[in-house]
Chain A
Amino acid sequence: GENVEQHPSTLSVQEGDSAVIKCTYSDSASNYFPWYKQELGKGPQLIIDIRSNVGEKKDQRIAVTLNKTAKHFSLHITETQPEDSAVYFCAATSYSSYKLIFGSGTRLLVRP
C-alpha cells in the first residue's frame, strides 16, 4: 500500500522568510496530493491540492510542486507570517482509491 514520508518534522523560520516542506510517496498509482494545515485544537483544513496532470499550483503565498518521476511533492510558503504557525500534513491517494494516506506532519514555527 501507499506510504508517505514527510520532512522536516519541525521547521522554524523568521517572519518574511520562505518555508519548504517535502514529501515522498511510494505508490506510483497515486495521483492526488492535498496539503492540510492543522491549528491547535482543530481538525486539519485543506489549504491546497495538486493532481498528477500538473507540475505546479499556486494560491497567493502558497505553492505546491509535484515530481511524478521522483515521487516527490513539496509545499512552499513565501513571505511567512506568524499566523502560518501550525502543523502541516501532506497526503496522497489515487482516483481508484479513497484512502488518504498522510505524512507524519511538520510543525512550522514562524518567529516574529
Chain B
Amino acid sequence: GAGVSQSPSNKVTEKGKDVELRCDPISGHTALYWYRQSLGQGLEFLIYFQGNSAPDKSGLPSDRFSAERTGGSVSTLTIQRTQQEDSAVYLCASSSQGQALHFGNGTRLTVT
C-alpha cells in the first residue's frame, strides 16, 4: 500500500512569510509525528498526535509553529513569520500504536 506522503517536497519562501506543510499518513495509522532535521543533524521531535487525544506539542520550538490533524488523518504543520533558522527538512511519520514509525520523504524548507 501507499506510504506516508508529504507535500510539497521542496519549498522556498521569503523570510517573514507563512508556510504550510502537509502530511498524508498511512491509512489506519492512529499515531502521527512531525520531526525536524537540520542539515547534517539528527531528528528533532516536534509534535505527536494519537487518535482523538490532545497532541503533545512539547517539541515545537516557538509559538510560530503549530500543527493540526483533521479527521484523524491528514496533518498540516504551519510555520508563521518564517525565519532563516527554520530552514530544514520537515519529516512526518505515522505508526500503529506501539509499532515502528514509517517516515515520509520530507519537505525541504528553505527560507531566504
Residues of A within 8 A of B (CB): 6, 34, 36, 41-46, 49, 89, 95, 98-105
With the chains together, A98 CA to B29 CA distance in Å? 14
CB < 8 Å neighbour of B100 from A49, A98, A99, A104 = A49
Find out whether the CB atom of B104 lies under 8 angstroms from the CB atom of A43. yes
> Which B residues have a C-beta under 8 Å from some C-beta of A?
4, 31, 33, 35, 41-43, 45, 48, 50, 56, 59, 91, 93, 98, 100-106
In the bound assembly, the distance between CA atoms of A34 and B101 in angstroms comes to 9
Classify the secondary structure of B's interface with A: strand
- Report the Cα distance A99→B35, complex, angstroms: 10
CB distance from B71 to the nearest CB of A (A): 20
* A41→B105 contact, CB < 8 A: yes
19 A–B pairs (Cβ distance < 8 Å), ordered by A: A34-B100, A36-B103, A43-B4, A43-B105, A43-B106, A44-B103, A45-B103, A46-B101, A49-B100, A89-B43, A98-B31, A98-B48, A99-B45, A99-B48, A99-B56, A99-B59, A102-B35, A104-B41, A104-B42
- Chain B residues within 8 Å of A95, by CB: 98
Per the bound structure, the CA–CA distance linking A103 and B43 in Å amounts to 8
A44 to B43, CA, bound (A): 10
Q: Once bound together, how far apart are the Cα atoms of A57 and B62, in whole Å?
A: 40
